[in-house]
Structure 1
Amino acid sequence: MNGQSKGEEASCFLKTTQHQISIDAEETACGLWCFKGPILQKFANKKAYVILYGLLGCVFSASFAYFNGTITTLEKRFKIPSRTTGIISIGNDLSQLLMCVILSYYTGRAHRPRWMALGMYTVVLFCFLTALPHFLYGAGADALFLTEEFQVTANTSINVLLNTPKKNLCTNETSKESLCENESGSYSPQLILFAAQFISGIGGSLYYTLGVSYMDDNIKRSKTPALFSFSYFIRMLGPAIGHGLASICLKIYIAPTLTPMIDNTDPRWLGAWWLGWIILAFILLIFASLLALFPKTLPRAAIRKEVKRQASKIGNVTTELEPLPSLKDMIKTFKRLSSNKTLMLNNFAAIFYFLGYMPYWIFLPKYIETQYKQSASISSLITGSAGLIFSAIGILLSGIIISKFKPRARYLAAWNVVVGAISVLGIISYAFLGCSNNESSFFSNGEISTVTECSSNCHCNFVKYNPVCSSDGTTTFVSACHAGCKKVMNINESEIFTECSCVTNDNISVGVDFVVPGSCPVDCLSQFYIFLGVVCMLKFSGATGRAANFLVTVRCVEEKDKSVAMGFGLMLMSLCAFVPSPILFGIIMG
């Protein structure tokens, strides 16, 4: 009877003190310094936070998608090999590996919105640093040479068009090596790009670990899956925006004030890869500043916590005070998380998934360019937009289903296993969806073979990749030199390479011996559409597991460990997946 009366008393207290409870006004005040007031306080609610958090994540993910979409242009401009690009791309994962756990532990109990905003300011710096090499080193000699202004300034337009390409022609001189371009990429731009990636990892770790825990702590548990899915849906627009922005910028010449003599279908075209970073930096700066205005705790959440605390007093339930952040407590927290079997198994499952997914996502634009013969602009656009609708449907549908039916954690984990199996089968199917190459002089039994018998005496080892197509449109050569061409003609402002020994030897029946710049056209649209269909299916299935994976992580740990658990999982994924996978696949791709 005594216990029942205490329960009734506590229940009565909960009903009568909702409007009488006193909370810390400073903790729930929306604004910063002089930017405070009742107008801003109206936005101190879960809906405003979820929308802003999603928009910030949208631009944040757009920045990394933009980097992926401009990788091939960066490699061409600064002559960076793919294996080096893989090392550059893990810079942010290294910083997450070194700092995310410590940051999430010490900032998880502080003013999380302001720490998230500070992290986003580092991403703004990342955007400016990534664009910096263009302003330090310019468009490059290769790009300037292909502009009308360069030809007029040199006052040698005719001579340049007629004589300069001879460096790429066949010659029997042994001194050919000195005439060819043997230019290696400078290490300075690569170091700047790596430093930018390293800095961005700090902001990324704070955004993911603190943002999700803040959402879960300030929203009712029954509404968390739906609102998390909604914020994730907004963030999912980021890759589409990033690749779309990359597509637009790459259609603009790398030096917008100059007039190029080629169009964006030419393999020598370099787009304005640096322009998008300036746009993304200013948008991130605005959204991050708005996020800093949110209170430490949302007012309604603060009321619920105070009511719960007061009710525990009436029920004679002692609440354990949280220890102050310290090295001793941090080590104890890590031991507690390491012994959590559910958390660790969920983390290891994510590690194996991202070990294969991350390099696939990073190099997908380059894969589309090389495998399906698409331009850099189109590859970036397709990578970002394909499957967006299916991803949106998947994340929203899963959030609604989880909120309505409230499935057990066992069922959520089982569905993640199904999603992983579908992803593996889908990615394996890519091996059977490739586009068959046209006859290429540099492909022999699936291996690159740049030297053929007909051009073995042409000294082409140091000629850069500048593909040409035979007159009958069937064979692509690495360059005019590799085709054995000895002369060049300029007809109607178009170059034609003549007296090509490889064309004469391989195509005697044609009766011509010339090649034209550019790769030969290849018809592989049907394979490409099937590839897009598989991508859309994988996007949908993968999106349905996002909300489930998030709930498993935050529900299997104590409330005080949510931020640290997110950081701990991020550290493990950086160590075992994010860091080694781009390097491994970069070496494989060459």
Structure 2
Amino acid sequence: MEAGEQELKLLNDNNKMAATVTAVTTTTTTTTTTNFLNVNHTNHEGVEKEKNTIDVRDFELINEKYEMEKVIRRPSSALPKSPTVTSEEMDQYSDMFKDMPLTEETTCGISCFRSSFLQKFANKKVYVLLYGLLGCFNSATYAYFNGTITSLEKRFRISSRTTGLISVGNDISQIFISVFLSYYAGKGHRPRWIAFGMYTVVLFCLLTALPHVLYGPGEDSLQLTVEYGGQANLNASDTFAFFEKQKKKTLCDTNRTVGCMKESEDLYPKMILFVAQLIGGVGGSVYYSLGVTYMDDNIQKSKTPVLISFAYFLRMLGPAIGYALASFCLKLYVSPNLHPTINLNDPRWLGAWWLGWLILGGILAFLSALIALFPKTLPRAAVRRAIALEKNKGQPQEPETKPSMKDMLTTIKRLMKNKTYVYNNLASIFYCIGYMPYWIFMPKYIETQYKLSASYSSFVTGTVGLVFSAIGVVLSGIVISRYKPRARILAAWNMFIGVISVLGMISYMYLGCDNPTEINSTVQDYNVTKTCNLDCKCDYISYSPVCSEHHETFISPCHAGCRESYSLSKNKKVFTECSCIEPNPENPFGNLTSEEIVNPSSPFGKAISGTCPLNCSTAFHIFLGVVCMLKFFGATGRSSNFLVGVRCVEEKDKPVAMGFSVTVLSLFAFVPSPILFGYILDTTCMVWGKTCTGTGNCWLYDGYNLRYVMNIIAAILVAIGTFFDGCVWYYVKELKIFDEEIKIKAVGTGD
């Protein structure tokens, strides 16, 4: 019997595992046909070869022993020292591995397109890179939608409540199809199913841009261009009157005709956007449920954490790319070939919101085609699987079941009896609900609490979150791969992160600015009408705050009773003849105005655009520091949570487990959470707008009540999630995360 077969026999005998670990391996050349299960296969070049080389199982065995040599720590009186493997021998085995024959399931390509060049990329590193890039640009689509949603609302006159319903379409589709797709696709060619899912995201991108193709930039936008504005048959006096009307839109005007603009009755753009979201949810479901299970099944367990962390890191770049692309596209006019008569700072400006969808769709289509070329099983994983079959040849094997509804229900029932899996999902649900307001409303929260601009708030949210989250993900992956902590340590770390998160959210309640004084006094019982502006007809004036010369903030120039305005710069105006403002003898705006603008004999005061400045820099920087800390610690828990989630279920159940998790998270977290916290935000609204159909959008939130109500509810929800993490910690004491744990246990017990 050859040396390689002797080693394999020893490996099959579990009672002699300790001797196998330390036995002396003699490498000799055997004449055999190398294949996975002693069956002749045709190699990737189509030529049937017989090889005079060492059996592939010998290579895997020695490589496995070489890895175990580094892991197992023996007592001095225990087994004899294992031999070392020279670099020349390892090179010899690596060359043999490269030349082994490949099957259709282990070769890159589709149909007859399986060149030898492609086989160089059939490895875990290329897959993780492509998978991470797909996740990156898939995440960018969500960020781009959020970044351009106000432009969509402006173009098609979509209300905020309708926009919320449209965005939920993505989660609705995941609720109904995640389990089915993950079950049936999990038993098929997973890379091709991932590509199929990503092509549905490509379709989502194209459908979202379709309303622009069908309906154009809109009449209002065309009238604000040189090309079309001149075709409106307006003479010089009409044009002057038009611009004067626009100028006085927010001023006090006793001759104003009180009215409102009705919403567009055309439902087709809204229906197209909703259907696009439904289709896009399919791709997200397939990507998350199949991508990580394929990675976990084809990569050595000890290397999974660092590679998963790298994929997470690439995915986290997506929101930054999406917001940056939205910023770039919205700086272009909705019809880039036209010349607008207004600038970016004009509220009527409509950017090229549709352009980014074409760019993202093209990139995703290219990457999806590449990932479809991956084999059903990576070659090295196929070798490990074949060796496992040989080792267990004498043991009863569980037959592979065909996909069926009955088997799927049996699988779900089996998962529901898995306490670790159930508690881990419950923890994720409450964590997601608790963190949802910070994911969705953080820019608005910063803008409301610290009186910062929307653009700066978005910038801070994106950059700070990205940097510290990325550091946390990468660092945690490296640490877990290096030290290979047990399941209980990983679960305990998740509990620690939960406690830190709760404390951080509680601290948010004490960090913020006070509400502007005049707004506090003018919105008591939501009464924004005063005697001084009674005839100004301000009911349908949007929130355009101004600061008086007495350092008081008014909701708009109209509410301050201002009748004239003058532009000082692109972003700053001075409003005069304000009947609700008494003149200040100290003239604090003297350096901003001139004698031509200001009438010294006027009995009325002045105001400038924007809220009165408040010194909140200290509170904001403390808040930013807490955010950075929570982002970092939260990111370190992603790899550990993933490992516990996939290791606590049987290997055959992993695709369904991932899909079922997506379903329950969508149903119980991603769909209701925006509705819940949207309602909470509405309860803290101080000033509501008016529309033809009743209440419109909120002009101003009570920052003081908002930070208390929102943060305390979020902290309670995360605390509940931490409790369920404690349940996970209790039930994972016997869970094995890495292969080495199983091997060490076998050696120590003599099994």
C-alpha contact 2:11 2:391 (8 A) present in aligned 1? no
C-alpha contact 1:386 1:536 (8 A) present in aligned 2? yes
In 2, the alpha carbon distance for the partners of 1:127 and 1:62 equals 11
What CA deviation, in whole Å up to 9, does each residue of 1:176-196 have, x standing for no partner? Answer: 224x54556864433332222
Aligned to 1:545: 637
In 2, the alpha carbon distance for the partners of 1:435 and 1:146 equals 39
C-alpha contact 1:242 1:384 (8 A) present in aligned 2? no
1:3-22 pair list within 5 angstroms:
6-7=9-10, 15-16=57-58
Match of 2:501 among 411, 423, 431: 423
Q: CA RMSD in A?
A: 3.3
Q: Structure 1's 498 and 274: CA in aligned 2 closer, same or farther, altered over 3 A?
A: same
Aligned to 2:81: none
Aligned to 2:476: 398
What CA deviation, in whole Å up to 9, does each residue of 1:310-364 have, x standing for no partner? Answer: 2222xx1122121111111111101000000000000000000001222321222
Aligned to 1:277: 357
Q: Structure 1's 61 and 433: CA in aligned 2 closer, same or farther, altered over 3 A?
A: same
Match of 1:582 among 647, 650, 674: 674
Secondary structure in 2 matching 1:499: strand
In 1, the alpha carbon distance for the partners of 2:309 and 2:529 equals 54
C-alpha contact 1:88 1:194 (8 A) present in aligned 2? yes
Q: Structure 1's 100 and 5: CA in aligned 2 closer, same or farther, altered over 3 A?
A: closer
2:647 is the counterpart of 1:555: yes
The alpha carbon displacement at 1:34 in A equals: 4.9
Q: Structure 1's 217 and 104: CA in aligned 2 closer, same or farther, altered over 3 A?
A: same
Secondary structure in 2 matching 1:502: coil
2:454 is the counterpart of 1:362: no
What CA deviation, in whole Å up to 9, does each residue of 1:36-74 have, x standing for no partner? Answer: 201111100001001111111111111112222333444
Q: Structure 1's 146 and 31: CA in aligned 2 closer, same or farther, altered over 3 A?
A: same
In 2, the alpha carbon distance for the partners of 1:118 and 1:331 equals 25
TM-score between both structures, scaled by the size of structure 1: 0.88
Match of 1:535 among 627, 634, 637: 627
In 2, the alpha carbon distance for the partners of 1:439 and 1:263 equals 32
- Tell me whether 359-368 or 336-345 shows the greater mean CA deviation: 359-368
Aligned to 1:125: 203
What CA deviation, in whole Å up to 9, does each residue of 1:385-427 have, x standing for no partner? Answer: 2132221221122112212222221221121111122223323
Aligned to 2:133: 55
Q: Structure 1's 4 and 492: CA in aligned 2 closer, same or farther, altered over 3 A?
A: closer
1:42-441 pair list within 5 angstroms:
42-140=120-218, 143=221, 152-154=230-232, 155=234, 156-166=238-248, 168-172=250-254, 176-178=257-259, 180-181=260-261, 183=263, 187-260=267-340, 263-313=343-393, 316-439=394-517, 441=519
In 2, the alpha carbon distance for the partners of 1:196 and 1:135 equals 15
Q: Give the counterpart letter for 2:170 in structure 1.
A: N
The alpha carbon displacement at 1:287 in A equals: 0.8
2:555 is the counterpart of 1:484: no
Q: Give the counterpart letter for 1:198 in structure 2.
A: L
Q: Structure 1's 15 and 124: CA in aligned 2 closer, same or farther, altered over 3 A?
A: closer
Aligned to 2:708: none
Q: Structure 1's 473 and 343: CA in aligned 2 closer, same or farther, altered over 3 A?
A: farther
In 2, the alpha carbon distance for the partners of 1:105 and 1:215 equals 17
In 1, the alpha carbon distance for the partners of 2:468 and 2:566 equals 51
Identity %: 56
Q: Structure 1's 4 and 126: CA in aligned 2 closer, same or farther, altered over 3 A?
A: closer
In 2, the alpha carbon distance for the partners of 1:255 and 1:110 equals 45
Aligned to 2:44: none
- Tell me whether 355-364 or 270-279 shows the greater mean CA deviation: 270-279
Q: Structure 1's 105 and 300: CA in aligned 2 closer, same or farther, altered over 3 A?
A: same
Secondary structure in 1 matching 2:198: helix
Q: Structure 1's 514 and 282: CA in aligned 2 closer, same or farther, altered over 3 A?
A: same
The alpha carbon displacement at 1:122 in A equals: 0.8
- Tell me whether 22-31 or 472-481 shows the greater mean CA deviation: 472-481
Q: Give the counterpart letter for 1:170 in structure 2.
A: C
TM-score between both structures, scaled by the size of structure 2: 0.71
C-alpha contact 1:485 1:500 (8 A) present in aligned 2? yes
The alpha carbon displacement at 1:22 in A equals: 7.8
In 2, the alpha carbon distance for the partners of 1:538 and 1:438 equals 29
C-alpha contact 2:333 2:352 (8 A) present in aligned 1? yes
Q: Give the counterpart letter for 1:387 in structure 2.
A: G
In 2, the alpha carbon distance for the partners of 1:411 and 1:335 equals 28
Q: Structure 1's 530 and 74: CA in aligned 2 closer, same or farther, altered over 3 A?
A: farther
In 2, the alpha carbon distance for the partners of 1:191 and 1:197 equals 10
Q: Structure 1's 42 and 132: CA in aligned 2 closer, same or farther, altered over 3 A?
A: same
C-alpha contact 1:162 1:490 (8 A) present in aligned 2? no
What CA deviation, in whole Å up to 9, does each residue of 1:523-572 have, x standing for no partner? Answer: 54444333332222111111110001101111011100011111111111
- Tell me whether 360-369 or 95-104 shows the greater mean CA deviation: 360-369
Q: Give the counterpart letter for 2:650 in structure 1.
A: E
Secondary structure in 1 matching 2:364: helix
The alpha carbon displacement at 1:514 in A equals: 4.6
The number of residue pairs the alignment matches comes to 582
C-alpha contact 2:57 2:387 (8 A) present in aligned 1? no
C-alpha contact 2:333 2:349 (8 A) present in aligned 1? yes
In 2, the alpha carbon distance for the partners of 1:427 and 1:187 equals 40
Larger Rg: 2
The alpha carbon displacement at 1:447 in A equals: 7.6
C-alpha contact 2:194 2:372 (8 A) present in aligned 1? yes
Runs of 5+ unmatched residues, structure 2: 1-5, 14-19, 26-54, 61-95, 588-602, 683-751
In 2, the alpha carbon distance for the partners of 1:255 and 1:446 equals 44
Secondary structure in 1 matching 2:301: coil
Q: Structure 1's 445 and 515: CA in aligned 2 closer, same or farther, altered over 3 A?
A: closer
C-alpha contact 1:241 1:384 (8 A) present in aligned 2? no
- Tell me whether 528-537 or 113-122 shows the greater mean CA deviation: 528-537
In 2, the alpha carbon distance for the partners of 1:394 and 1:88 equals 33
Higher helix share: 1
